[in-house]
Structure 1
Amino acid sequence: MDQFAALETFVRVVEAGSLSAAARSLPSSLTSVSRQISELEQHYGTQLLLRTTRRLALTEDGRVLYERAKSILAEFKEIEAALSRRDRQPSGRLRVSVPSLIGRLLIAPLLDEFLQRFPSLSVDLLLVDRPVDMVEEDIHLSLRVGHLVDSQLVARKIANLQMIVCASLAYLERRGTPQSPAELQQHECLVFSSTPGAAVWRFGPDQATECRIRITGRIWANSLDALVTAAKQGAGIVRVPSWQVEADLAEGGLRRILRSHEPAPTPLNLVFQPSRLPSTKTRAFADFLTDRWRKRDPFASGVDHCEDD
């Protein structure tokens, strides 16, 4: 059995939805496709596909093999392309996932310049405020906030984000200014997360002195923009990246509080698919973004706003 060819056929069957459709797209005979799937199942000693008269479905082992085979085949294609002269210039479709706020305000405005520089490229920009499964969702490059737990990920640190806590003057005059993180539990806090519920805010410059405060509030949103708007209207205290509210702090719409308790800056990383050779298109975007933000860091605050006591 040509295992590589069999894996290619298996992936094509899964994506085509049937043996006959895969045979037409390869092209190959239905008999050959069916034989390769049977040989794979015999080789691994497990059933990979559930066959009915109407459809095919993956078994649990089949799904594991599909995800890994798809990644392996893509890596071989990238190696082949990287060694080929025709791939000296980046080409094809690049899939990038970024936090929605950063994507909307900082990434999207750069895409025209990037695509003019690389006319053979196209970009799929996914704005998501959750960790993505880069293999499952076929993401080539992801921008992630925070320390990376998965040691298998290949990452390049690109910037630092400073998380701050702030509120409107009207709110602070009405409810008072908290002097310690623990006092936040007696205040109206505006909760940001991907799903409704409580959140945890970290304080302290290092792990030795760090404290974690469980935050609940009557307003929850999965949009920082919405929470900043509510905070400026006096609805409560919000925790946001400093760059997002720099203009509001300068104009007095918001006041920065608990500054002496702020955590150390949070890293912002470019993350590549694990176990994948970075393609020329992936490296092109990573280098472009790194170069642009090295020249002008959009996350560096240019104004020093003191805490309101």
Structure 2
Amino acid sequence: MDQLAAMATFVRAVDAGSLSAAARAIPSSLTSVSRQISALELHFGTRLLLRTTRQLALTEDGRIFYERARSVLGEMKEIEEALAGNRREPSGRLRVSAPALMGRLLIAPLLGDFLRTFPSLSVDLLLVDRNVDLIEEDVHLALRVGRVADSQLVMRKLGEVQMIHCASPDYLARRGEPQTPSDLAQHDCLVFSDAPGVATWRFGRDAGSGQRVRISGRLWVNSLDALATAADSGTGIVRVPSWQVERQLAEGRLRRLLREHEPAPAPLHALYQPSRLGSAKIRAFVDFLVERWRGSDPLGR
């Protein structure tokens, strides 16, 4: 049995919804399609599909095999593209994940030019404030801020993100300006979090000896946009990426605080699987970001 071919047939059958539809799409005979799936079930010693005359249903083992098979087949396609290298224009589908605010403000505005530059490419942009599983979620490239724990991934540093603290002049006129991080205990802090409670803000350039301050926030929101808006309206002190509030700072609507106590910048990496090291479309996207950000420096490095 050609396991890779049988795997592709299995995925095609599940996607098509029936063995006969898969046979027409490949194209192949219905007998051949059925034989390949039966051979897979015999090889793995488990039932993968529940067959009826009109439709298919995945067993629990079949669902696990389907997700893994899709990933393997996707990697095989990436290998083909890598071996082709620069011999052809980047093409196909590129699935990218990024933090929600960064994706909306810094990535999405560039996609029009990127797609015009590479007309054979299409992009799926997934905006989520969590670390995605590149294999399970079929993501080709992830942009991630901070330390990367998964050493199995290939990393390319794109820049650094500086977190800053700021408040409106109106708030500071009413409550005074904090001179040290400890002064924040006497202030209304606006905290980015999914779960209200007690937060910790780190200060100081040295991560090992820097100061950590417990913050009991007056407002907890899982949106940096909403927090910046609240700070702009005089609600309290917010901690946000410098590039997010660049305009408000320039216009005087927000004032930067505790600058000498700010934490060290956090690295921004592009991450992808080692099997996609030579992917032309990943390389094209990362190089495009590096080139576009080099002059304007949107990360506020």
TM range (shorter): 0.7 to 0.9
The offset of 1:186, in angstroms, is 4.2
Check conservation: 1:161, 1:241, Cα contact below 8 A: yes
CA offsets, 1:101-159, max 9 Å, x none? 22232223322332232222222333332222322332222221111111122111001
Give the CA deviation at 1:52: 7.0
- For 1:149, what is the secondary structure of its paired residue? coil
1: CA distance between counterparts of 2:91 and 2:154? 22
In the alignment, structure 1 segments of 5+ residues that lack a partner are: 302-309
Q: Which residue of 2 aligns with 1:181?
A: 181
Distance between the aligned counterparts of 1:47 and 1:212, measured in 2? 54
- Tell me the SS of whatever aligns to 1:119: coil
Poorly superposed stretches of 4+, deviation over 6 Å: none
Distance 1:274 1:212 in 2: 36
Q: Go from structure 1 to structure 2 and tell me whether the alpha carbon gap of 1:115 and 1:182 turns closer, same or farther (over 3 Å shift).
A: same
Please state how far the C-alpha of 1:213 moved relative to its aligned partner.
4.0
Partner Cα distance (1:82, 1:224) in 2: 38
- Say if 2:112 is the partner of 1:112: yes
Residue in 2 aligned with 1:304? none
Q: Distance in 2 between matches of 1:181 and 1:13?
A: 60
Letter in 2 for 1:118: F
Question: CA offsets per residue over residues 10-36 of structure 1, 9 Å max, x none?
Answer: 222333344444333323334433332
SS of the equivalent of 2:235 reads: coil
Structure 1 position 283, deviation (Å)? 0.9
Q: Greater CA deviation, 228-237 or 12-21? A: 12-21
In the alignment, structure 1 residue 197 sits paired with structure 2 residue 176? no
Distance 1:176 1:47, change over 3 A: farther
Which secondary structure does the structure 1 equivalent of 2:288 belong to?
A: helix
Check 1:82–1:171 CA distance in 2 against 1; reply closer, same or farther (3 A cut).
Answer: same
Hey, what's the Cα distance between the residues in 2 that align with 1:9 and 1:201? Answer: 52
CA separation of 1:36 and 1:108: change in aligned 2, threshold 3 A: same
Per-residue deviation, 1:3: 1.0
Number of residue pairs the alignment of both structures matches: 299
* CA distance in 1: counterparts of 2:158 and 2:217, whole angstroms: 33
Higher deviation after alignment, 264-273 or 73-82: 73-82
Contact 1:50 1:57 in 2 (8 A): yes
* Counterpart Cα distance in 2 of 1:86 and 1:208: 44
- On the 8 A contact 1:228/1:238 being kept in 2, the answer is yes
Deviation at 1:163, TM superposition (A): 0.4
Report the counterpart of residue 225 of structure 2 in structure 1. 225
| Alpha-carbon distance in structure 2 between the residues aligned to 1:35 and 1:216 | 63
SS for the counterpart of 2:155 is strand
- Cα distance in 2 between the residues matched to 1:67 and 1:288: 31
Cα distance in 2 between the residues matched to 1:213 and 1:22: 60
1:80-119 equivalence runs, <5 A: 80-84=80-84, 88-119=88-119
Moved more, 96-105 or 18-27: 18-27
Q: Give how far 1:264 is off.
A: 0.7
Given the two structures, how large is their TM-score scaled by the length of structure 1?
0.84
The answer for the alignment partner of 1:151 in structure 2 is 151
CA contact (8 A) 2:82 2:278 kept: no
Deviation of 1:225 (Å): 2.0
For residues 87 and 72 of structure 1, do their structure 2 counterparts lie closer, same or farther at Cα, with a shift above 3 Å needed?
farther
Whole-Å Cα distance in 2 between the matches of residues 85 and 169 of structure 1?
54
- Quick one: structure 1 residues 55 and 178, their matched pair in 2 at CA, closer, same or farther if it must change by over 3 Å? farther
- The share of aligned pairs that are identical, in percent, is 67
Matching residue of 1:77: 77
Where does residue 57 of structure 2 map in the other structure?
Answer: 56
Change (3 A) 1:171 1:12: same
| Counterparts of 1:155 and 1:85, CA distance in 2 | 19
State which drifts further: 277-286 or 233-242: 277-286
- Seen in structure 2, the aligned counterparts of structure 1 residues 185 and 295 have a Cα distance that, compared at 3 Å, is same
Q: Does structure 2 conserve the Cα–Cα contact (< 8 Å) formed by 1:166 and 1:254?
A: yes
Quote the residue 1:23 is aligned against: 23
Structure 2 counterparts to residues 1-309 of structure 1, below 5 A: 1-49=1-49, 55-59=56-60, 61-84=61-84, 88-193=88-193, 195-198=194-197, 199-273=199-273, 275-300=275-300
**1:5/1:227 CA distance change after superposition, 3 Å:** same
Answer whether contact 1:142 1:272 (CA < 8 A) is retained.
Answer: yes
| SS at structure 1 position matched to 2:276 | coil
Structure 1 SS opposite 2:239: strand
Contact 1:67 1:135 in 2 (8 A): no
Partners of 1:250 and 1:84 in 2: CA distance: 47
Equivalent position SS for 1:125:
strand
RMSD, matched Cα: 2.7
Alpha-carbon distance, 1:50 to partner: 5.1
The two structures have a TM-score, normalised by structure 2, of: 0.86
| Cα distance per residue 1:78-118 (max 9 Å; x no partner) | 33234449961112232222223222322233223322322
